[in-house]
Amino acid sequence: GAVVSQHPSWVICKSGTSVKIECRSLDFQATTMFWYRQFPKQSLMLMATSNEGSKATYEQGVEKDKFLINHASLTLSTLTVTSAHPEDSSFYICSASPFDRKNTEAFFGQGTRLTVV
């Protein structure tokens, strides 16, 4: 089956620093990946669509300069939280689908719990 791997699983960083989260499709190529944010006991909110070889598409209200997305290859997308603050603490999840299964299933990474202190 299709596997999406996300790294790290958890990270603690100091306020003002930047942190990078990686999302890899291990056994398929993905021209598009999605980044979600999930607050405790809430749903997944789409932050942005990561497009290989082009700029990411951000959802309304998401600061693109704060949440930098780079989709440099067909198997890797990265989300960098720049100048992190405590309010950025959250659970971040990525997803992707093989091209021939885009409509049938999205595969999710394990998620990254970010804590900013």
Partner 1 sequence: AQTVTQSQPEMSVQEAETVTLSCTYDTSESDYYLFWYKQPPSRQMILVIRQEAYKQQNATENRFSVNFQKAAKSFSLKISDSQLGDAAMYFCAYKSTNFGNEKLTFGTGTRLTIIP
> What is the rounded distance in angstroms from the CA atom of residue 99 to the CA atom of residue 31?
8
Rule CB under 8 A: is residue 108 a binding residue for partner 1? yes
Closest to partner 1 by CB, 42 or 83: 42
Nearer to partner 1, 31 or 70 (CB): 31
Q: In this structure, how many other beta carbons lie within 10 angstroms of the beta carbon of residue 56? A: 22
Structure tokens at 15: 């306020």
Question: Are residues 80 and 72 in contact, defined by beta-carbon separation less than 8 angstroms?
Answer: no
2 binds partner 1, rule: CB under 8 A:
no
| Torsions phi, psi for 101 (to 5 deg) | -130, 25
Select 82 or 111, whichever has its Cβ closest to partner 1.
111
Q: Does 34 bind partner 1 (CB under 8 A)?
A: yes
DSSP state of 103: T
- 43 contacts partner 1 (rule: CB under 8 A): yes
56-75 footprint of partner 1 as x/- string (CB under 8 A): --------------------
Pairing mode, strands 10-13 and 112-116: parallel
Q: Which residues contact partner 1 by CB under 8 A? A: 32, 34, 38, 41-46, 49, 91, 93, 95, 97, 102-106, 108, 110-111
